[in-house]
Amino acid sequence: MNPSPDWFGYLQALAKLGPPAHMATMIDHPTRDAGFGVYVHWPFCLAKCPYCDFNSHVRHAPVDQTRFIKAFRREIAHVAGLTPGRTVTSIFLGGGTPSLMDPATVGAVLDAVAGAWPSVPDVEVTLEANPTSVEAERFRGFRAAGVNRVSLGVQALNDADLRALGRMHSAEEALAAVAIARAAFERTSFDLIYARPGQTPGAWADELKAAIGRAAEHLSLYQLTVEPGTPFERLRAAGKLAVPDDDAARALYETTQEVCEAAGLPAYEISNHARPGAESRHNLLYWRYGEYAGIGPGAHGRLVTAAGRVATVTERGPESWLALVEGQGHGLVTEDLLSTGEEGDEFLLMGLRLKEGVDADRYAAFAGRSLDERRVQDLLGEGLIARRRGRRLAVTREGFPVLDAVVADLAA
């Protein structure tokens, strides 16, 4: 997954309009030790799920993967030119549905990354897969191409809810896909969506326990959000979709924490659970506010330049992205130098999602100012944040359901 436009939209609302380009002395930029990741976006799906607002498109004619390979190669080479001297710590092929890529396409992309930057010996290479596109042979091909971790979109383990979510697979097919993934890869994860219409804590606890029985080391558990512009939003507006209210969603969140903790899969991020040591390194890099290149249609990146951190976004439309890359060598349409205030806000927005929280000194290095001690004391007093080892501050279990408000308070 790539940090969604939503997070950045929210951030813009938070961000104060600070002074324009700041900073000259970014030599010891606090990003450096968090790693360097490469996100590659595959923007196609077999069908569009009615809740999803990711940059995903359905095409009825076959996608010209050879053309995409050439464009990925050119954009990777361009971004590598902006980021000399980096060593790649993780690669993430997200979507859309990257498991629809031919294994040869995945191999060509990974070869292009390897040609552009050196990698650490144990580089993590994740591919997102949809259970409708999982075949054992294909997965062996992804593995041979260099993928070493798979994240599967299971979403629910009962057929009625899968149909309500507009999914094209049954629970049995999803579990068969999980078994195929586990046979092919040492590291696997799967996603479930909860807070579905009519879901009770008891039913969710049972489903979650069944999921944990099949999960190896990592689970992403997302609360259903009704995104603007989606068919789910129109259904809700028409009174045809009733999602749990805040109290019901909170009860489901509590159930999630209790069941996962009891099973040895505690949350390390608001929606992500892992056995200790099995966390997604690529996602940790986003939340620890590391540096990452965003490649492919609609990908977001954060590049650290001599002038400061630059937020990049590529052209969103698959065909218009191809045309841009073929014309100018890359599809970047946004390259914004962030102000210190914006960097500090992003750092908080990302880092407070993590159970480990944020380092107050690192915040000060990004933001050019310390956290407001009075606000910190108030939030500590309310039990919404807690002090951790050293100078760290972390959101508590009570604070996570109101995370947005906590971030907004600290960033103000």
Ligand X SMILES: C[S@@+](CC[C@H](N)C(=O)[O-])C[C@H]1O[C@@H](n2cnc3c(N)ncnc32)[C@H](O)[C@@H]1O
- The yes or no reply on residue 117 touching ligand X (CB under 6 A) is no
Tell me the closest approach of the beta carbon of residue 177 to ligand SF4, in angstroms: 13
Question: Which listed option, ligand SF4, ligand X, none, makes contact with residue 279 (CB within 5 to 8 Å by class)?
Answer: none
From the list 315, 275, 319, the residue with the least C-alpha distance to 298 is 315
Instruction: Kindly tell me which of 181 and 259 has the beta carbon lying closer to ligand X.
Output: 181
Q: Between 48 and 74, whose beta carbon lies closer to ligand X?
A: 48
Check if the beta carbon of residue 387 is closer than 8 Å to that of residue 323.
no
User: Between residues 106 and 384, which has the closer beta carbon with respect to ligand X?
Assistant: 106
Q: Which residues contact 26 (CB under 8 A, 6 or more apart)?
A: 304, 305, 306, 307, 308
Residues from 75 through 104 that contact ligand X (CB under 6 A) = 95, 97
If the CB atoms of residues 27 and 58 are measured against ligand X, the closer one turns out to be: 58
Number of amino acids touching ligand SF4 (CB under 6 A): 11
Q: Are strands 332-337 and 300-305 parallel, antiparallel or unpaired?
A: unpaired
Which residues are within 8 A (CB) of 274 and not within 5 positions of it... i.e. 6 or more apart?
217, 218, 219, 265, 266, 268, 280
The single residue among 119, 130, 255, 314 that binds ligand X, judged by CB under 6 A, is: 130
Q: What type of residue sits at position 247?
A: D
CA distances for 189 relative to 101, 152, 220, 269, 377, angstroms = 19, 6, 7, 14, 37
Residue type, 236: R
- Distance, in Å, from the CA atom of 126 to the CA atom of 265, rounded to the nearest integer, reads 20
Which of ligand X, ligand SF4, none lies near 48, with the C-beta cut-off 5 to 8 A by kind?
A: ligand SF4
Nearer of residues 38 and 152 to ligand X, judged by Cβ: 152
Options 105-113, 221-229, 345-353, 356-364: segment touching ligand X (CB under 6 A): 221-229
At 10, phi and psi to the nearest 5? Answer: -60, -40
Give the residue, chosen from 26, 52, 80, 386, that forms a contact with ligand SF4 under the rule CB under 6 A: 52
48 touches ligand SF4 by CB under 6 A:
yes
Give yes or no for residue 49 binding ligand SF4 (CB under 6 A).
yes
Task: Output the six-digit token pair for 294.
Answer: 């965003």
> Which residues sit at the interface with ligand SF4, rule CB under 6 A?
45, 48-49, 52, 54, 56, 95-97, 130, 153
